[in-house]
Chain A
Amino acid sequence: MRNTDAIARDWRNWGLGRPFHREMTLTEAGLALGRGTLLSEFEKKGRAAGGLALDGNEARLLSLLTAAYRQPLAGRVIEKIRRAGEIWRAGDKSLAQIHLAFLGLPKIGEADAYRLFLAGTALEKGASPSDLLKALGFPRAARDLEKYNPDQPRVPAGSGRESGQWTSDGAGGANVSRPKHQIIMSDANPTGIVAGAQYAQASQTPVICPKTMTKILKVHGPGALAKYKGKGEFNAEFATPEGIRDLVDRAFAQATPDTVGPGDPNDSVVMFASRFSIDNATGVITRIPVGMSGRGLRVPSVETNTYVVILDSDNNVRTAYPINPADEINPMDPADQANE
């Protein structure tokens, strides 16, 4: 066991001198978080397209994320990260970062970065990921990790249809999450399940009552940006009952089964989704703008292909509006304010 003075010295000499990644960032070396902690390296050989070297390292990644975010994350987060790594290696770095942003994870602070550094050091020195989780106070997550099966069904990498993210008819990738403070991560549909079909068994299709539809169209329809102090505004082509219904259905069709449906009665479900089209012949992906994002906390309104749908625990739609994925900043976070 190293003595703690040596670890603290390493942190001062090595950690504090590194760039500070407050959110997961893809670099040439791999996926970085905190003060240069590499959560996963890129594969150096193997698959042609390349990606993050996650196979066999899932438990390590989950334990490090738990250390950084102070909460255990669901294993399915790995598939999102895997996909982001593939996209990054394929050259679309901004889209890869958007995939990471869709995880909805909060930014971390210096204390989190230090804890992550300590966790990385512990793993490097031989601690097991489940030991680390126990030490962090998550014995149940440690047991889950011990049972974690990296060979569980997964959409083959490079298939072009990972997680139902892409379709040729303009459907978008969708990501469902509880409110971000709960950090329950989600993934899209496992292999072999037709998008949307699984919910018919366990959950109902989202309901948009006429009053809610009227409200969404009123406060997020054309003119909302100017009229309502910068609210997100759907383009006219989507700002119809049929258009909103279609956006909701597309988001829901690719949502994660275990995060949609009845749950805590006080809880709500947030679905993020994006509209794309893909040219089957060339593979070129084109973003389909759905509207203008609202005037955000730090960022100006932008034309966006991304939107959120908020459901209650009975799958009633509460609201839907276009968002700028970059506008996910915690206004009460002192570090955020310092960066203004």
Chain B
Amino acid sequence: MNWKIEQITAIPSVHNGRFDLHPQHGLACLVNGVKTQALYLNGHPCRTWSTEEFPDVWGVRWFSQAQVCLWLVNRNAVLASGTTWTPFSAGRLWDILCANDYIFVTYDDESVTRARPGEIEHNVLAVFSGDRIFRVGLVDLLLANRDNSSPIEINAAYTFNNTIMFVPYPGESVYILDADKKSLTKRDVSFNTVNTVAFSGNDKQAFAIVEYAEQFELVHVDLASGQSQKGDFRALAKELDEAGFKSGAWHFRSSLGGRMIVSDDRQAAFIELF
């Protein structure tokens, strides 16, 4: 297993996760002001809003070169650009991942266990089209597949084209949800999916970072066979140290095209795995 650390980018000292790094579009981040919050794209202020009006904007993800997806902790997501602000009802969501033509919204244990059938959070993972129309939910696809697993959260996920690969909790599998076909495929795998903190790859292979017993592990997964093998995380850790990432403050999350994003409270970069 090999990797490259690239595109090291300074980020404002903000809460982890309130930024997104995209291989082509660059850096999007949320910056808090006095009673205001601002969206910055590649260092330039794009738009500002009052925290009285939108007090809980928690996250940002690139959707296209001109648009980002923001989410509010209570119930909504917003597709925003310099000139547009288009909310859509996505429930009390946990995370958003964007693909070419779809927005994948995931929900956490608290939202899912509170939800009733019919409520958006009950889906655990909901797929919206680019025009913000709900397309399909994970629970419906599990039902159609007669899959009796009942996840309460998505541990980690990545998108590839219009497909999302994810590890649900609980579970020992990787699922592949094709949003175009509304299909769901399951691969039983042999790594610690429960404690996976970041997941990336393509339709053939995946890479995971697993945090367990206060140690990180690097895992390569063959999606065809489900077989996994450990990589040398210590070697990666050494390179992260050398790149100036503060040991102990590392935060990993998924990105596109086999990349993960690593950040501490000062900078972020891609780890490209291959």
Separation of A211 and B56 alpha carbons in the complex (Å): 31
Contact of A231 among B108, B114, B116, B117 (CB under 8 A): B108
Provide the bound-state CA to CA distance between A308 and B170, in Å: 17
Checking A211, A231, A297 against B74 with a beta-carbon cut-off of 8 angstroms, the contacting residue is A297
Interface string of A227-270 (1 = CB under 8 A from B): 11111100000000000000000000000000000000111101
Answer whether residue A332 sits at the interface, using C-beta atoms and an 8 A cutoff: yes
Are A331 and B113 within 8 A (Cβ)? no
Contact A332 B194 (CB under 8 A): no
Cα–Cα, bound, A266→B116 (Å): 14
Number of interface residues of A (CB under 8 A): 36
Is A180 engaged at the interface, CB distance under 8 Å to the other chain?
yes
Chain A: CB-nearest residue to B95: A229
Q: Which of A181, A227, A265, A331 is close to B117, meaning CB atoms less than 8 Å apart?
A: A181
Q: Mark A189-225, 1 if CB is under 8 A from B, else 0.
A: 0000000000000000000000110110011000000
B113 near A266: Cβ-Cβ < 8 Å = no
Contacts A215-B169, A266-B150, A318-B169 known; 4 new A-B pairs at CB < 8 A:
A215-B194, A310-B109, A319-B153, A332-B116
Q: Which of A211, A212, A328, A331 contacts B91 (CB 8 A)?
A: A331
Instruction: Please indicate the chain B residues that have their CB under 8 angstroms from the CB of A94 in the complex.
Output: none
Set of chain B residues within 8 Å of A328, measured between Cβ atoms: 114
Chain B contacts to A: CB under 8 angstroms = 15-17, 56, 58-59, 73-75, 91-92, 94, 108-110, 113-114, 116-121, 148, 150, 152-153, 169-170, 192, 194-195, 211-213
For A316-337 the 0/1 string (1 means CB < 8 A from B) is: 1011010000001011100000
Q: Which of B73, B109, B148, B153 is within 8 Å of A229, CB to CB?
A: B73
A residues lining the B interface (CB < 8 Å): 106, 179-181, 211-212, 214-215, 218-219, 226-232, 265-268, 270, 294-295, 297, 308, 310, 312, 316, 318-319, 321, 328, 330-332
Contact A268 B113 (CB under 8 A): yes
Tell which of B92, B109, B195 touches A321, judged by Cβ atoms closer than 8 Å.
Answer: B109
Contact B170 A179 (CB under 8 A): no
Beta-carbon contact of B212 and A319 below 8 Å: no
On whether the beta carbons of A270 and B113 are closer than 8 Å, the reply is yes
Option from A212, A297, A308 in Cβ contact (under 8 Å) with B75? A297
Nearest CB of B to A83, in Å:
24
Cβ-defined contact, B16 with A332, below 8 A: no
CB < 8 Å: which of A211, A212, A312, A321 contacts B110?
A321
Q: A312-B170, A319-B152, A332-B119 are in contact. Are A214 and B91 (CB under 8 A)?
A: no
Q: Which B residues touch A295, using CB under 8 A?
A: 56, 73
Question: Residue of A at shortest CB range from B197?
Answer: A218
Of B74, B110, B119, B150, chain A has the most CB atoms within 10 Å of the CB of B110
Contact residue among B15, B113, B212 (Cβ-Cβ distance under 8 Å from A179) = B113
| Chain B residue with the shortest CB-CB distance to A328 | B114
Q: Which residues of A contact B170 (CB under 8 A)?
A: 212, 312, 316, 318
Residues of A within 8 A of B91 (CB): 331
How close is B145's CB to chain A, nearest CB, in angstroms?
Answer: 13
Choose one: A106, A231, A265; the contact of B148 (CB below 8 Å).
A265
Once bound together, how far apart are the Cα atoms of A266 and B110, in whole Å?
Answer: 18
* A310 to B119 CA separation, bound complex (whole angstroms): 19
Question: In the complex the two chains form, is A214's CB within 8 Å of B212's CB?
Answer: yes
CB distance from A207 to the nearest CB of B (A): 12
Q: Least Cβ distance of B51 to chain A in Å?
A: 15
Top 3 closest pairs, chain A to chain B, by CB: A181-B116, A211-B194, A319-B109
User: How many angstroms from the CA of A316 to the CA of B148 in the assembled complex?
Assistant: 16
Task: Given A211-B192, A214-B195, A331-B92, decide whether A229 and B58 contact each other with a Cβ distance below 8 A.
Answer: yes
Q: By the criterion CB–CB under 8 Å, are A294 and B110 in contact?
A: yes
Closest to B113 in A: A310
A179 contacts which chain B residues (CB < 8 A)? 113, 116
Residue of A nearest to B117 (CB): A181
CA gap between A266 and B169 in the complex, in Å: 14
